[in-house]
């Protein structure tokens, strides 16, 4: 359908489109906007009818944004950022930064790296607040559900800007009191923990398949933090990031996997929002403090 040039989009229309792009469902969008799902549905129908264009593809899992919806969402974010900047300016105290910064990362990186960095930053900027989301994918940043991402990836998306923090070393670990040795691993006498399809390209998967192709893991988990807890209990062995495992007294390294395909840790944000003071302060602090062993 051709867009109806006489229809005048309002700020409220853009807010609805942005909520749908970010959440993908009527119910979740309604929760963000403070209205029920039927109101969002009727509003979306009205907008699409006025534009003469379909903004979202409907499926059983939700609403998938089309090119026009994505373009409108980008404009809506600029409006959102401008309003936030205006509100901050009204309430700002010289040299103080306030507002909420949305950060997405994995549980491992959050506990081991991001949380300690934010603890120091909070003492310096007590008016900042943080919306922390744990996820194993970059989609949350691509959908603009987050302002900053700290992610393990070999190929960061080209539309984002960021800093390369370093390579994530991994090792093979067992529980310190388990009595498990590397000889036990070689002899096939110990259970394995493995990452499931939630992180399909994790270096532990390729290393295990290359060195122990006949191993069938006993436990599959979707969280390295959970794997570390269970390995620490003496339930088997697992390949874990050194940055996490070295801080735990209940784990012992059986082998440092120098030949594993290492992931790269990136600090990422949106080029159009990094100038916002609250985001710039948090991003700059993380860029200075995040370090890998």
- The answer to whether residues 129 and 238 belong to one domain is no
pLDDT tens sequence across 104-135: 998 889 988 999 999 999 988 998 999 998 87
Banded model confidence at residue 276, pLDDT cuts 50, 70, 90: confident
- The answer to whether residues 136 and 254 belong to one domain is no
- The answer to whether residues 126 and 178 belong to one domain is no
- The domain containing residue 102 runs over which residues? 92-167+264-289
Tell whether the model's pLDDT for residue 3 goes beyond 60.
no
- The answer to whether residues 285 and 250 belong to one domain is no
Cβ proximity of 59 and 4 under 8 Å: no
Decide if 197 is inside a domain: yes
Cβ proximity of 192 and 208 under 8 Å: yes
**% of the chain residues with pLDDT over 70:** 89
| DSSP characters over 115-158 | HHHHHHHHHH-TTEEEEEEE-SSSHHHHTTS-SEEEEE-SS--T
Decide if 240 is inside a domain: yes
Decide if 5 is inside a domain: no
- The answer to whether residues 175 and 195 belong to one domain is yes
Cβ proximity of 70 and 21 under 8 Å: yes
The reply to whether the predicted model has a pTM over 0.75 is no
Averaged pLDDT for residues 55-71: 90
- The answer to whether residues 162 and 268 belong to one domain is yes
Average pLDDT of the chain? 86
- The answer to whether residues 32 and 143 belong to one domain is no
Domain end marker among 31, 47, 78: 78
Decide if 6 is inside a domain: no
pLDDT tens sequence across 134-174: 876 655 565 567 899 998 887 787 778 889 998 888 899 99
pLDDT tens sequence across 217-270: 999 998 889 999 999 999 999 999 988 898 899 999 998 887 666 778 999 998
- State how far the Cα of 266 lies from the Cα of 158, in Å rounded to an integer: 13
Decide if 84 is inside a domain: no
Decide if 2 is inside a domain: no
Domain end marker among 78, 108, 132: 78
- The answer to whether residues 163 and 283 belong to one domain is yes
Cβ proximity of 161 and 283 under 8 Å: no
- The answer to whether residues 238 and 281 belong to one domain is no
Decide if 86 is inside a domain: no
- The answer to whether residues 132 and 57 belong to one domain is no
- The answer to whether residues 127 and 106 belong to one domain is yes
Decide if 74 is inside a domain: yes
- State how far the Cα of 74 lies from the Cα of 209, in Å rounded to an integer: 42
Closest listed residue to residue 168, CA positions, set 287, 282, 260, 286: 260
- The answer to whether residues 188 and 244 belong to one domain is yes
């Amino acid at each position: 359908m051709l867009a109806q040039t006489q229809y005048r989009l309002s700020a409220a229309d853009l807010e609805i489109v942005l909520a749908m792009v970010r959440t993908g469902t009527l119910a979740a969008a309604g929760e963000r906007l403070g209205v029920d799902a039927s109101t969002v549905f009727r509003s979306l129908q009205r907008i699409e009818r006025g534009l003469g264009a379909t903004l979202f593809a409907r499926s059983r899992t939700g609403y998938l944004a089309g090119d026009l919806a994505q373009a409108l969402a980008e404009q809506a974010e600029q409006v959102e950022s401008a309003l936030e900047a205006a509100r901050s300016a009204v309430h700002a105290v010289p040299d103080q930064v306030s507002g909420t910064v949305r950060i997405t990362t994995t549980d491992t990186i959050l506990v081991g790296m991001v949380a300690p960095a934010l603890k120091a930053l909070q003492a310096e900027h007590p008016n900042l607040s943080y919306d922390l989301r744990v996820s194993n994918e970059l989609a949350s940043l691509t959908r603009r559900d987050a302002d900053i991402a700290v992610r393990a990836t070999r190929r960061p998306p080209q539309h984002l800007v960021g800093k390369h923090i370093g390579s994530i070393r991994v090792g093979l670990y067992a529980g310190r009191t388990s009595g498990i040795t590397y000889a036990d691993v070689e002899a096939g006498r110990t259970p394995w923990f493995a990452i499931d399809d939630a992180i399909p390209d994790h270096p532990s998967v390729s290393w295990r398949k290359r060195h122990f192709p006949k191993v069938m893991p006993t436990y599959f988990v979707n969280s390295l933090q959970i794997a570390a807890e269970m390995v620490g209990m003496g339930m088997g062995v697992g390949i874990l990031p050194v940055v996490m495992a070295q801080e735990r007294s209940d784990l012992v390294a059986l082998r440092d996997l120098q030949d594993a395909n290492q992931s790269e840790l990136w600090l990422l944000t949106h080029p159009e929002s990094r100038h916002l003071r609250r985001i710039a302060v948090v991003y700059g602090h993380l860029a200075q403090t995040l370090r890998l062993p």
